[in-house]
Structure 1
């Protein structure tokens, strides 16, 4: 059964501007360790970042949480199968949330074209108690009422 669907589009020039302004600080803040190593070897770093950022945004939209309650972009990674198919990797707070919410498999599709990168995420669950309430549009287990770990924000603000 579908838990949630999310999509996001990112303008590549936005990533170019962020790289020019912040250098490696921006990718270090949003990428997992494995992703940063891939980014460092990438011949098209702005496209790499645009696809990764779109995937992370689409994933939190599918989760229904956004980047709140301690969840940061670096907690969601993108890997690839031997055939090149992308998949989501949950780390840290993201791993806690998908377990708490009962999310099983996550399906990810990525695309880019000259000026834009696009990501589409479908999250699946086996739990029967996770279903849409047709009147309120909220899930039976509301992700916005999850326990807070004391941290707010999307992880892009300055860290001390």
Structure 2
């Protein structure tokens, strides 16, 4: 059962401005996210913009927004096949569980000026026969 859907767009120029403010990226991104993004060289800013959009979309999908959630507790990485995945910790995990969520699906895309993310949260999966 779908618990919620979230969609967000981030203008890449926003992240370009943030990169110039010492410590700001460390405030919003998990160290693993920053390392993965920086490994992309010239695509780092696009990668970070997409990941920030994912965090915003996650808040919308659980129905609470990001109020009370530490953004670093939402870790967006790619698996071995390149598929983006959300890993939750601390207050982000608590908010997810409180929403009834059991599984998160994420899609990211970006092109020059914009990055977009869509999050689908599923719940009620236990006990479902397939």
CA deviation vs aligned residue, 1:100-150 (integer Å, no higher than 9, x gap): 22201100000001110000000000179xxxxxxxxxxxxxxxxxxxxxx
Once the 2 structures are TM-superposed, how far is the Cα of residue 27 of structure 1 from its aligned partner?
Answer: 1.3
Higher relative contact order (CA 8 A, sep 6+): 2
Instruction: Structure 2: state its 5+ residue gaps.
Output: none
Trace 1:1-160 onto structure 2 (pairs within 5 A): 1-20=1-20, 22-23=21-22, 25-43=23-41, 44-68=43-67, 70-126=68-124
CA deviation vs aligned residue, 1:27-79 (integer Å, no higher than 9, x gap): 101111211222343312221210111000000000111121x2121111112
> Following superposition, which runs of at least 4 residues in structure 1 exceed 3 angstroms of deviation?
none
CA RMSD in angstroms comes to: 1.6
Instruction: Structure 1: state its 5+ residue gaps.
Output: 129-160
The normalised TM-score by structure 1 is 0.73
CA distance in 2, matches of 1:48, 1:127: 31
Contact kept in structure 2, 1:19 and 1:26, CA below 8 Å: yes
Higher Cα radius of gyration: 1
Question: What is the aligned length?
Answer: 125
The normalised TM-score by structure 2 is 0.88
CA distance in 2, matches of 1:74, 1:52: 11
